[in-house]
Amino acid sequence: MSGKTELSRVIFEKLINHLVNIEEDKNNLLQEYFPVPSKERDGISYLLEKYIAKIDHLIRNDLIVVQSSDNSFPFVAMYCEVEVQDLENGEIEKLRIVPPFKNDESNDVSFLSPAGKALLLKNIGDETVVKAPGGESHYRIKTIKLRYP
């Protein structure tokens, strides 16, 4: 294997559209959810810039479009279904990271939520801590698959 990511044509086209949309909607999203300049707004702005750059680099350099694929993805992006293992009790959970206005399924998690921010841009095997109002949870990423609605 060449280290390149294989995606089906349909998923590849959805990824291109997603990149265009997130680039166009970034400022609107920041204004809607963080209307007042703040450290948190700056952090989300930086995260989105990093996200856009990573997706763009992947599309330009590390993708192969194939007839069919299981659509495994090298890092957590929006619309990825992420299988995580709770490092405290061993339980496996599937979450799908989505934009804040696209929570359609019960396992959908906004990338602005504590879990979404902790998982976005992470790789398989990475461990992360989710700091939520109810306490901290420690997870290891098991699988990542791009799954558009």
Confidence check: pLDDT of 8 > 50: yes
pLDDT in the model for residue 1: 40
Confidence check: pLDDT of 2 > 60: no
Quote the tokens at residue 89.
């009790």
pLDDT in the model for residue 148: 85
This prediction has a pTM of 0.90
Rounded to an integer, the average pLDDT of 12-28 is: 95
- Residue type for position 44: I
What pLDDT digit, counting tens, does each position of 101-133 carry? Answer: 776 778 899 999 999 999 999 999 999 999 988
99-to-19, 64, 140 alpha-carbon distances in Å: 12, 25, 22
User: Which CATH code is given to the segment(s) 80-146?
Assistant: 3.10.50.30
Place of tokens 């929570």: 103
Rounded to an integer, the average pLDDT of 91-99 is: 95
The rounded percent of the chain whose pLDDT value lies above 90 is 81
Among 136, 146, 91, 144, smallest CA distance to 119 is for: 144
To which H or E segment does residue 61 belong?
Answer: helix 39-61
Quote the tokens at residue 68.
């069919």
Domain ranges of the chain: 5-66, 80-146
Please, how many CA atoms are within 13 Å of residue 138, restricted to the half-sphere of its CB?
5
